[in-house]
Amino acid sequence: MQQAILISKDQIDILSEHAKKASPNESCAILFGKIEKDHYMVKDVFLTMNIENSPVNFTISNDELIKGYQEAEKRKLDVVGIFHSHPDSEAYPSVTDQKFMEINPVPWVIFSNKSEQFRAYIFESKVEPFDLHVE
């Protein structure tokens, strides 16, 4: 059972930069990597557009989702996480996020532009905090 998601400082910097550029709207990305026995290992981030252009919601277009999954497959990587940012609130999943987390039970990484903090969550019968290790 995976207990944590491991991500590099460089990847964290790419994601926070992406979030700052998208502000005041939410930003989003797909995290590619390997599902190991006891953790998820992020190998690359696939930056996507938030087609909702919204400060409180995000949607990745079907085209980009397909492109993302094809790219992952080509590189023999798995989708190990979903990233999005909260420009004006804490890094805690909204009611909408929780609904989508149940459908996508991979780690969800949320960045708060407000507090500049990253947090991870996962759906395991309910939404739970998940260990995010930056290395």
Residues catalogued as catalytic: 26
Q: DSSP state, 16? A: H
Residue type, 135: E
Write the single-letter amino acid at 69: Y
Q: Cα(1)–Cα(45) distance, rounded to whole angstroms?
A: 23
- Compare residues 73 and 88 and give the one whose CB is closer to Zn ion: 88
Q: Does 119 bind Zn ion (CB under 5 A)?
A: no
CB of 37 to Zn ion, least distance (A): 29
Question: Residue 78 is inside which H or E element, if any?
Answer: strand 78-86
Q: 69 or 100, CB closer to Zn ion? A: 100
* CA angle, residues 36, 126, 4, in degrees to nearest 5: 25
Q: Under the criterion CB under 5 A, does residue 94 sit at the interface with Zn ion? A: yes
Tell me if 97 contacts Zn ion by CB under 5 A.
Answer: yes
Q: Which span (10-18, 30-38, 65-73, 94-102) binds Zn ion, by CB under 5 A?
A: 94-102
Contact 5, 40 (CB under 8 A): yes
Helix residue spans in 5-74 (DSSP H): 9-22, 62-74
Output the residue with the shortest Cβ distance to Zn ion.
97
Q: Which 45-74 residues touch Zn ion, going by CB under 5 A?
A: none
Letters for 73-92 (x = contact with Zn ion by CB under 5 A, - = none) are --------------------
* Binding region for Zn ion (CB under 5 A): 94, 97
